[in-house]
Amino acid sequence: MIFRRSVILDELVDRWLSKVAALVAVYLMFRGHNAPGGGFAGGLVMGSVFVLQFLTGREPHLRHRPIRRPTVLLGVGLLTALVPTVAPLAVGASPLESHIWKFDAPIIGEAKLVSSTLFDVGVFLVVVATVLMVLLSLGARGTSLVGDDGGQAP
């Protein structure tokens, strides 16, 4: 990408906003079961993080490592969502039936984990991967669908 670099964008977006937004994304995913949010929304926020990075003129990256093959993430996400779908069959329950674990965690007290959270994690990963794939392929340098390099010029 040939963007002019901006200190504000670099500092603000890449250093701080990305990190906060990534936290928000994960938070949205986990709280989804009880309050607005969920894997889809969380994944979209995470996707926006990468879009932001992209708009500041960098490749989408995670902890300084550029993400080049989101396809893997796509597959991992779909498989993750399949686990809680299929696993109940092994114990004789119907597919996607939720199992609720309750336990006492240190500091936060009584906690609850529902098996369908894993399903939401899968949705999260698929959504993130989809955004990344679209971003990387459509945003790639020199990409041209009809031969006219419309908005390419700096």
Does the footprint of other proteins cover residue 6 (CB under 8 A)? Answer: no
> Taking each helix axis from N to C terminus, what angle separates 116-138 and 18-31, rounded to the nearest 10 degrees?
140
Handedness of CA 124, 41, 101, 119 (dihedral sign): negative
Does the footprint of other proteins cover residue 18 (CB under 8 A)? Answer: no
CA angle 132, 138, 139 (to 5 degrees): 80
Nearer to other proteins, 13 or 81 (CB): 81
Q: Rounded to the nearest whole angstrom, what is the least distance from the CB of residue 76 to other proteins in the complex? A: 11
Nearer to other proteins, 12 or 133 (CB): 133
Does the footprint of other proteins cover residue 2 (CB under 8 A)? Answer: no
φ/ψ bin of 64: left (φ > 0), alpha (ψ from -120 to 50), beta (otherwise): left
The answer to whether residues 148 and 56 touch, using CB atoms and an 8 Å cutoff, is no
Residue 109: strand pairing partners: 105
Neighbours of 100 (CB within 10 A): 9
Does the footprint of other proteins cover residue 139 (CB under 8 A)? Answer: yes
Nearer to other proteins, 106 or 147 (CB): 147
Q: Binding residue for other proteins (CB under 8 A) from 8, 100, 107, 108?
A: 100
Amino acid present at 2: I
Does the footprint of other proteins cover residue 13 (CB under 8 A)? Answer: no
- Binding to other proteins in span 31-90, by CB under 8 A: 32-41, 44-45, 47-48, 51, 55, 71, 74-75, 77-78, 81-82, 85
* Interatomic CA distance for residues 7 and 4, integer angstroms: 10
Residues present in the chain in total? 154
Q: How many amino acids of this chain bind other proteins (CB under 8 A)?
A: 62
Tokens of 120: 């939401």
Residues forming the site for other proteins (CB under 8 A) = 32-41, 44-45, 47-48, 51, 55, 71, 74-75, 77-78, 81-82, 85, 94-98, 100, 112, 114, 116-117, 119-120, 122-123, 126-127, 129-131, 133-140, 142-152
